[in-house]
Structure 1
Amino acid sequence: THSMDFDDTWHPATHPSGAVLPALLAASQMLPPGTKPNGMDFLLAFNVGLEVQGRLMHFSTEAHNIPKRFHPPSVVGTMGSAAATAKLLSLSTAQCAHALGIAASLAGAPMANAATQAKPLHIGNATRLGFEAALLAARGMEANPLILDDIAGCSGFSAFYGIYHPKPLSTPSDHHEFLLEKQDIAFKRFPAHLGMHWVVDAALSVRNLFINYAGSFSPSLIRTIMLKIPVSKYINRPFPSSEHQARHSFQFNACTALLDGEVGLSSFTESSIHRQELRELLDKVVVEHPEDNVANFDKMYGEVALLLQSGDVLTGKCDTFYGHWRKPLSKESLLKKFRSNASHVLPEEKIETIITMVDNLENLSDSSQL
C-alpha cells in the first residue's frame, strides 16, 4: 500500500501501521506451535508499536509538521517495529531497551527520495530492520539502553529530530490510555499523499459551484486556478511526469479532481497523467502560501479558487476532509476500500474470511491464522 501512497497517516506525521503490522504477522508465523500469541497479544503488541512511534514524535516539535529531513516511517517506524516485535516475543525489559538501541542504528532515510520508486523501500526496511533488531536483542546483542534519552554531548535518537525533549513514562495502570485512543488515524480515500486530500475536496467543492454556474465543467471558461496550500517543497510539483510524482503533487490532484470529478486508482496511470486537457489545466495553476496555512496535518487547509474569463471568482475550501481523524471514514467506507484493494490479489472468500477474523481479533486463539 505504501508504494501507492494508500496507507494510513497519523499526527505527528507518519504512516504508523505499515511498519508494525507486517513485523507482527511475521513474528506470529515464526513462533512454534504451542507458543503462538493470541489475538489480544497481537492487538497489544500492535498498540505498543504505535505508542512508541507516537511518543517519540510528540517529544519533538520538529516532528509535528510535514517533514523536511528524514522520512518519518524510516525513523519512528523502525523503532515501532522493534518495540512491537519485542512485545510479541515477550522480551525482558533489558532486551527491549537493547532492541530499540539496535533499531536506532538501522533507522533513517532522506525525504529527497519521496515521490520516487525508492520511497516505498523506507517502510519496508523499517518493518524488516525493526523486526531484526528485536531478534538480535533476543539472541543477546546489546546496544545503548539509553538511546531514547536526551544524552548531553552525544546524540541518541535526537540525531533524527533536533528539537527533542523526551519525558519519562508514567507507571502503567489499569487506566492506561494509549495515544491511539486520544489521536485517531487518517485513512485515505484515494492513493496519494495525505496533503492531496485537502485540495481534492476543495477542488470538488468548487467544481460543483462551477457546474451550477456554467451548466457543465468547461475549462475554456477558466482563466486561472489559484491554490492556497502550505509550504512543502516535495509535494509542490507543477508538472509531474511519473506516477509517484503525481501522487505528491497538489497541482495534479486538484486539476484531476476538477477535470474528472474524482481522484482514484486510474488517475495515476501514464495515460491519465499525460492527457492534453489535464496539461492545459495545469498551465493555469498559480500557487499561494498563506501564512496561516501551516504544513501540519492537524492545522492545514486546502483552498481552490477559479478565476473565470468573465471576471467572476468561485472558491472551494477544505479544512477537514472525509477520512481525517476529525471526520473519520465509516466502517462501510473502510470495508469498501479493503475489498477493492484486496480483490486484486485475493479471491472473495478469503477477503470475507479476513474481515470476519479481524472483526473478532480479540477472541482469536492463534494470531498466526491472519
Structure 2
Amino acid sequence: MEVTKKLADFIVSTVLGNIPPEAREIGKRIILDLLGVSLAGSRDPMSRIMTEYIKDTGGRPRASVWGKKFRTSSSLAALANGTFGHALDYDDINRNMRGHPTVPVLPAALAAGEEAKASGKELLEAFIIGVEVETKLGAGMNPHLFENGWHPTAILGAMGAAAAAARLFNLSGEKVCMALGIAGSLASGLRQNFGTMTKPLHAGRAAQNGVMAAQLARRGYTADPGIVEAKLGYANAFSGAGKYDLNKIVANLGDPFDIVSPGVGLKRYPSCARTHPAIDAMLDLVVQNDIQPEDVEAIACAGTYTTPTMLIHSRPRTALEGKFSLEFCMALALMERRVALPDFKDQKVQDPKIQELIRKVTFSVRPDLNSLEQSGNPSTTVKVTLKDGRVYTKTVDEARGTPGNPLTAGEVKDKYRQCVKGIQSKKDMEKTIELVEGLENLKRISTLADLLQGASH
C-alpha cells in the first residue's frame, strides 16, 4: 500500500473549499487557543533559555518569535514557538494522536507561511491539512507507538509539521514524499522526559523538523519515497512490526477530518490532560460538599492502566513534575478549590500542606479499564474519605473542554485573553482575536505575526 504517496496526494490536492465549514471553524478556534498558550509560555523560564539559544545561533530574519520582539530563520522560529506553545502543557489534545495536535503544526505553518508570504486562507488550509496527516498517522500507529515510550506529539507532529510546511512552500507530490521521508528520520521524543523542560522541546523540535524537511525537499534533498509503509520505515520502527494498521491512516483522510471527529480537546487546566477528569471530579466534590483539607483521611483515584505511565511523578518536587502528578493535582484542587496557571510554582508543589495531602492520594486500575482497547479512555473515579467516616465519590468520563464536553467560543476567547494579559495590549489582544476569526480573509499572515511579537521582554 502506497501510504506515503496517498498522504502526499492529499497534502497537494486538498483545498480550503473542500474542507467542511465546521472543520474550518474548529481550526480557527484551536489556532487562537495555541497562540494564547504560546504567548503565556513565552514568559516561562525555559523560554528564556530557548530565546538565548536562538539568538546565539542566529539566522536570517524571516519569521517572528512570539512574544519576543525579534525575528529569526523559519526553522528556528518554529523551534522557539513550538517550545513556547508546550511550555505550560496548556495546549490542545487529540485522542487518535494521543498527544497535542496544534503545537507542532501551527508554529511550523506560521513560520513557513511568513517565509512564503502566505495569506490567511493558505495558512488555515495548510494547518488543517497538517493536523489531519498527524492525527490519521496516530489512528494507524497507536496505541503501540505510545506504549513503546515515544511521545506522539514529537513523532507524529514532525510529519504534520512537514505536511503543513510543504503545502505552504507549494511542493510537488514527489517532493512532499521527500519531505515526509526526511521528517520521518528526524522525528524523536521520549516520554521519560515528561515533567522536564525537554517535553516542550519535543514540540519545538517537531515543528522545526517539519520546516527543515520541507525546506530541504524544496531544494532537491532526497529520502525514501515510501517512508511510512516501508519495512524499515516509520510505522514499523515506531509502533513495531505488525502493530500498526496502514489502512487506518489513509482510508478516511479528510472524511471526516479528525479535528471534527473524534475532535480536539481544549484544556481548562495547565497540566497533563489525563489529570483533568480527576480534577473536575475533585473540584465538584469539594465545592458541593464543602470538603476541608484538614478533614480528609484519604483520596482514592481509579482509571485506566496507562494513567500511571503518563502521570509519572507521584512525589513531585517541581512545578513541571506537578503537571504530570495526579497526586499534586488532587492536593491542589482540594487545597485551593481551583487549578490555575499561578498555582504551578515550585514553592506550591513543595508546600508542606500540599505534600501532606499528596501522601494521602492513591491510584488503582479500574477493572473495566484494564485492557489495551481501553488504554486511551480518560474516565476517572475519585473517592474522598473523611476522618469522620463519610465518603464522597464521583466519576468523570469526559473532562470539560474535551470534544464531548466542549468549551464555548466565548470561553476560548476568554482563555486567550487571560493567557496574553500583560503580553499584548488590550487593543492588540482584540485585534488578534478578530484576525484569527476572519483568517480566510487575511491578505498576509505577517499582519498577524507582527501582533504576536507582543511587548518587549
Instruction: Specify if TM > 0.5.
Output: yes
Aligned to 1:308: 386
- Measured after TM superposition, the shift of residue 170 of structure 1 is 6.0
| Alpha-carbon contact 1:48-1:84 (below 8 Å) kept | yes
* Pair 1:21 & 2:106 matched: yes
Q: C-alpha separation between the residues in 2 aligned to 1:297 and 1:335?
A: 32
Other-structure match for 2:337: 261
Q: Confirm or deny: 8 A CA contact 2:330 2:361 kept in the other structure.
A: no
Q: Does 1:299 align with 2:377?
A: yes
What is the CA-CA distance between 1:325 and the residue it aligns to?
0.9
Residue of structure 2 in register with 1:220 after alignment: 294
Alignment partner, residue 8 of structure 1: 92
Residue aligning to 1:214: none
Whether the 8 Å contact between 2:381 and 2:394 is mirrored in structure 1 is yes
* C-alpha separation in 1, matches of 2:176 and 2:196: 34
Please tell me whether the aligned partners of residues 162 and 180 of structure 2 are also in contact (alpha carbons under 8 angstroms).
Answer: yes
Say if 1:236 and 1:251, in contact at 8 Å, map to a contact too: no
> Hey, what's the Cα distance between the residues in 2 that align with 1:171 and 1:5?
29
- 8 Å Cα contact 1:205/1:317 also seen in 2: no
Structure 1 residue 238: Cα displacement: 2.5
Which is worse superposed, 72-81 or 306-315? 306-315
- Identical residues among aligned pairs (%): 30
Correspondence for 2:318: 242
Spell out, residue by residue over 1:246-273, the C-alpha distance to the aligned partner (whole angstroms, 9 max, x if none): 0001111011111111100121112211
Q: Distance in 2 between matches of 1:113 and 1:266?
A: 23
2:179 to 94, 99, 114: 99
1:57 to 138, 141, 153: 138
Partner of 1:349: 427
- Aligned 8 A contact 1:9 1:187 in 2: yes
Tell me the distance in 1 between the aligned counterparts of 2:128 and 2:283.
Answer: 35
In structure 2, the residue corresponding to 1:320 is in which secondary structure? coil
Matched residues, number: 356
Matching residue of 1:286: 362
Name the structure 2 match of 1:124.
204
User: Letter of the aligned partner of 1:221 in structure 2?
Assistant: D
Greater mean alpha carbon deviation, residues 306-315 or residues 43-52 = 306-315
Distance 2:287 2:359 in 1: 21
Distance 2:296 2:246 in 1: 51
**Which structure shows the higher helix fraction?**
2
The residue type paired with residue 363 of structure 2 is V
Query: After the TM superposition, which parts of structure 1 deviate over 6 Å for at least 4 consecutive aligned residues?
Result: none
Mean Cα deviation higher: 161-170 or 79-88: 161-170
Cα pair 1:98 1:143 within 8 Å, conserved: yes
> Where do 5+ consecutive residues of structure 2 fail to align?
1-84, 449-457
Pairwise CA distance, 1:135: 0.4
1:88-128: CA deviations, max 9, x gaps?
A: 11100000000000001100111111111111110000000
Q: Tell me the SS of whatever aligns to 1:192.
A: coil
Q: CA RMSD in A?
A: 2.1
Distance 1:319 1:21 in 2: 29
Q: Deviation of residue 61 (structure 1)?
A: 4.0
Q: CA deviation at 1:68?
A: 4.9
Secondary structure in 1 aligned to 2:118? coil
Against the structure 1 CA distance between its residues 283 and 113, is the aligned structure 2 distance closer, same or farther, given a 3 Å change threshold? same
1:230 and 2:301 matched: no
Question: What letter is aligned with 2:113?
Answer: S
Cα distance, 1:325–1:67 mapped onto 2, change above 3 Å: farther
Q: Contact conserved, 1:11 with 1:183, CA < 8 A, in 2?
A: yes
Q: Which residue of 1 aligns with 2:49?
A: none
Provide the secondary structure at the position in 1 that maps to 2:87: helix
| 8 Å CA contact 2:274, 2:310 repeated in 1 | no
Contact 1:204 / 1:261 at 8 angstroms: preserved in 2? yes
User: 2:302 and 2:424 mapped to 1: Cα distance?
Assistant: 41
Q: Judging changes above 3 Å, is the alpha-carbon distance between structure 1 residues 243 and 128 closer, same or farther for their aligned structure 2 residues? A: same
Aligned-partner Cα distance in 2 for 1:297–1:182: 19
Secondary structure at the aligned position of 1:189 is classed as coil
| Alpha-carbon distance in structure 2 between the residues aligned to 1:285 and 1:366 | 51
Aligned equivalents of 1:88 and 1:258: distance in 2? 47
Map 1:110-149 onto structure 2 (within 5 A): 110-149=190-229
Shift of the 170–155 alpha-carbon distance from structure 1 to 2, 3 Å rule, reads: closer
2: CA distance between counterparts of 1:164 and 1:227?
32
**1:145 Cα deviation after fit:** 0.5
Residue ranges of structure 1 left out of the alignment (5+ in a row): 212-216
CA separation in 2, counterparts of 1:348 and 1:361? Answer: 20
Instruction: Classify the secondary structure of the residue corresponding to 2:299.
Output: strand
